[in-house]
């Protein structure tokens, strides 16, 4: 059994940080992650820097990263303006995202869900015309910070329409970390017939992220998003905290016999590096506890 990991630390991990890393330092972060064997990295976000200053200089980050053939470098876009910026860079994948609830989507993206879905279809078409991959992420698929519980039927209906755009991948995001394994199984099972690879973007806000990840593995998920050291959060979602930590996830998967192709020791070195860069303890547990059994034994 194998699963692809998409590292989102340089984007989702840093977008909620009080300390802003320079484009050059963020490019170094991407390069360090690429050296661990990760094959997909969400490196930047092409959003308004006035709203998310941590993501300013996305084009500079892309220009400064090393060319590594084994890595698909992705950028987050929320609208056609964002895709137009991405199209000037080396990013090989556009990750379009929108929220499944009206309140959150209007606060986060300034438009209705229907408008975002229509724009997603345009972005997929534009990316494919440019020779790029395109994925769609459905944010707040497991619960909304403003509207509360989200009807899985609504999520699946939007997912089916998103799949019909011709996107290369569809990702269900637990943006505020409220989901449980039963919800994961229901959404992945419900979307299994849409003819598109499925992914999960999980946060560990209420300590269910890793259980949800493994439920996804059991349900046949193709891609898991994660963030080294567990950094992350959404600036527009109250009390949203970090993603599941990539090194903790790799440890879990390796112990369960699931291949990731990632060098765990190298990944722990990157977790230590970003911890030092940000100057405080981060949520990932493996960096504190160490591997088992210890490589020294």
Render 74-142 in DSSP notation, one character per residue.
EEEESSHHHHHHHTTSS--EEEEEEESSHHHHHHHHSS-HHHHHHHHHHHHHHHHHTT-EEEEEEETTT
**Helices (DSSP H) in the chain: which residue ranges?**
23-34, 58-64, 80-86, 102-109, 113-129, 152-163, 181-191, 209-218, 246-255, 264-278, 286-289
Output the CA angle 256-260-265, nearest 5 degrees. Answer: 90
DSSP calls for 57-77? THHHHHHHS---TT-EEEEEE
- The residue-averaged pLDDT of 79-102 equals 97
What is the distance between the alpha carbons of residues 237 and 176, in angstroms, rounded to a whole number?
7
Residue 269 has pLDDT above 90, yes or no: yes
Regarding the domain delimited by 4-289, which CATH topology (the fold level of the hierarchy) does it fall under? TIM Barrel (3.20.20)
Distance CA 229, CA 183 (A): 25
Does residue 234 surpass a pLDDT of 80?
Answer: no
3 with 223: CB under 8 angstroms? Answer: yes
> What band does 239 get if pLDDT is binned at 50, 70 and 90?
low
The pLDDT of residue 7 is above 70: yes
In this prediction the pTM is 0.96
Mean pLDDT, to the nearest integer, of 292-297? 76
Give the tens place of pLDDT for each residue, 173-231: 999 999 999 999 999 999 999 999 999 999 999 999 999 999 999 999 999 999 999 99
Judged by average pLDDT, the poorest of 100-104, 214-218, 267-271, 291-295 is 291-295
> Given this model, what pLDDT does residue 296 score?
62
- From the CA atom positions of the chain, what is the Rg in Å? 18
Q: How much is the pLDDT for 68?
A: 86
The C-alpha atoms of residue 203 and residue 176 are separated, in whole angstroms, by: 6
- The residue extents of the domains of the chain are 4-289
The answer to whether the CB of 200 falls within 8 A of the CB of 225 is: yes
Residues 6+ apart with CB under 8 A from 231: 9, 13, 14, 17, 242, 243, 274, 278, 282, 283
Q: What does the pLDDT average to over 70-74?
A: 96
Question: Which residues sit opposite 148 in a β-bridge?
Answer: 144
Please tell me the least confidently modeled range out of 16-20, 60-64, 117-121.
Answer: 16-20
How would residue 253 be classed by pLDDT, with cut points 50, 70 and 90?
A: very high
Question: Which residue of the set 6, 91, 144, 234 is catalytic?
Answer: 234
Task: Establish whether 6 is a catalytic residue.
Answer: no
| Per-residue pLDDT at 134 | 98
Phi, psi of 263 (to 5 degrees): -80, 110
- Answer yes or no: are the C-beta atoms of 216 and 181 closer than 8 Å: no
Q: Could you report the per-residue pLDDT of 104-143, keeping only the tens digit for each?
A: 999 999 999 999 999 999 999 999 999 999 999 999 999 9
State yes or no: pLDDT of 297 exceeds 60: no
**Average pLDDT of the segment spanning 2-21:** 94
């Amino acid at each position: 059994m194998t699963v692809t990991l998409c590292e989102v630390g340089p984007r989702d991990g840093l977008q909620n940080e009080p300390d802003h890393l320079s484009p050059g330092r963020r490019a170094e972060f991407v390069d360090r992650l690429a050296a661990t064997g990760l094959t997909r990295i969400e490196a930047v976000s092409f959003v308004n820097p006035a709203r998310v200053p941590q993501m300013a200089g996305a084009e500079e980050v892309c220009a400064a990263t090393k060319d590594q053939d084994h890595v698909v470098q992705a950028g987050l876009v929320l609208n056609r303006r964002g895709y137009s910026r991405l199209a000037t860079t080396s990013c090989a994948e556009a990750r379009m995202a929108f929220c499944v609830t009206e309140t959150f989507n209007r606060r986060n993206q300034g438009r209705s869900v229907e408008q975002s879905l229509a724009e997603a279809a345009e972005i997929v078409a534009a990316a494919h015309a440019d020779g790029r991959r395109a994925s769609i992420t459905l944010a707040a698929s497991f619960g909304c910070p403003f509207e509360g519980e989200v009807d899985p039927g609504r999520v699946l209906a939007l997912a089916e329409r998103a799949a019909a755009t011709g996107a290369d991948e569809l990702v269900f995001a637990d943006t505020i970390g409220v989901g449980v394994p039963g919800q994961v199984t229901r959404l992945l099972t419900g979307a299994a017939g849409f003819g598109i690879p499925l992914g999960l973007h999980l946060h560990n806000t209420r300590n269910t992220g890793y259980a949800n990840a493994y439920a996804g593995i059991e349900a046949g998920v193709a891609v898991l998003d994660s963030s080294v050291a567990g950094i992350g959060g959404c600036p527009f979602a109250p009390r949203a905290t970090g993603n599941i930590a990539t090194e903790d996830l790799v440890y879990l998967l390796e112990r369960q016999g699931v291949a990731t192709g990632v060098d765990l020791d190298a990944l722990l070195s990157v977790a230590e590096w970003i911890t030092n860069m940000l100057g405080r303890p981060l949520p990932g547990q493996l960096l504190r506890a160490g591997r088992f059994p210890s490589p020294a034994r």
